[in-house]
Amino acid sequence: MDLEITLRPAGTTTKREIAELSAEAQNALRANREVEWVAPRPENAPEGAKGVAEAIGAFLVGIPPAAITGVFELLKGLLVRAPETPVTVEVSAGSVKLSFDPRRVTPAEMGKMAAKLRPAGAR
C-alpha cells in the first residue's frame, strides 16, 4: 500500500522547520522494519526553473496495510515532541485523504483513520 504524507505548517511554522521535521519523519520511517520504502514526493519546479523539485514536507511511503496504525503512531510520537513546530498531517491513499493534528488525535481516532485507509479486505 502506498501513502502520500504531507506535513502542513500550522501557526508560525516555517518552511525550514517543515523540511527538518519531514527529514526526521522520513528517517524514522526508514528505520521502521514494517516500512517497505520511503521517498521524497516530487513536484514541478517553481516557475522559471527547470525540472522537478522535492515537495517541502511531502513524501511517499510504501507499507503493508497492517502497518498503517504503526505509521500513524510513529508520526504522532515524533511530531508531538516538537510542540514549537505545530503541523497538520495529511495522509492520502488512493481516493481517501485524511488530515489530523498530531497533538490532538487520540489512539482511538488513529485506529479509525487507519481503518479508513486500509483497502477492502486487507488486514
Alpha-carbon distance values, 88 to 18, 50, 80, 105 (Å): 10, 30, 11, 11
The architecture in CATH of the region 2-45+52-117 reads 2-Layer Sandwich (3.30)
Percentage above 90 pLDDT, the chain: 30
- 123 or 94, which is more confident: 94
- 107 or 102, which is more confident: 102
Percentage above 70 pLDDT, the chain: 88
Which pTM does this prediction carry? Answer: 0.84
Mean pLDDT, to the nearest integer, of 72-89? 86
End-to-end CA distance of the chain: 12
Sorted by where each begins, the domain ranges of the chain are 2-45+52-117
